[in-house]
Structure 1
Amino acid sequence: MDEVVLFNPGDSIGNFHDYNEAIQTAQIYRDRHLDSGHVLVVKSQKGEPSFDIFLAEQKLNDTNVKASKKYTVSKEIN
């Protein structure tokens, strides 16, 4: 089962249409920012395929947050 998470789209480190490019960028970011924690590559649930990169600790828990958007976790980079 896919994990659905909420993020504020404005907190995205990057947005990509190519999954492999998103993974590569997330790995580079993680290598350069070891103290940042887990990096997630997530896919938007609506519209054409789009992948964003977020830090795991930026995940929102409150479903009533107006600025949030639902994403499906594609890959977690530790």
Structure 2
Amino acid sequence: MIMMDEIVLFNPGDSIGNFHDYHEAVQTAQIYQERHTESGHVVVVKSDNGAPSFDIFLAEQQLDNGQKNPSTSKRYTISKKL
């Protein structure tokens, strides 16, 4: 079975944090989720362009592909859902 990457759109300004180390990003996302249980699902995403960079977003902040203002959004690949 072949697994496809899930590409999503987020507004970079909505990021909870930006990290160059994947494990640090996951650890921070877990801590955030424990402290903000009412916030919903947290995702760690990898930027699709440039050097490896990982951001943390709330899943509910995901934008759909029909976004009216694509200049404010950026493509990411989901690395981990919490």
TM-score by length of 1: 0.95
TM-score by length of 2: 0.91
RMSD: 0.8
Name stretches of at least 5 consecutive residues in structure 2 with no aligned partner: none
User: What is the one-letter code of the residue matched to 1:69?
Assistant: K
2:64 is the counterpart of 1:51: no
Query: What is the aligned counterpart of 1:69 among 52, 55, 74?
Result: 74
Distance in structure 2 (CA, Å) of the matches to 1:48 and 1:39: 22
Deviating above 6 A after TM superposition, structure 1's stretches of 4 or more consecutive aligned residues are none
Distance in structure 2 (CA, Å) of the matches to 1:41 and 1:29: 12
Name stretches of at least 5 consecutive residues in structure 1 with no aligned partner: none
User: Between Structure 1 and Structure 2, whose CA radius of gyration is higher?
Assistant: 2
Q: Deviations over 1:19-58 (max 9, x none)?
A: 0000000000000000000000000000000000000000
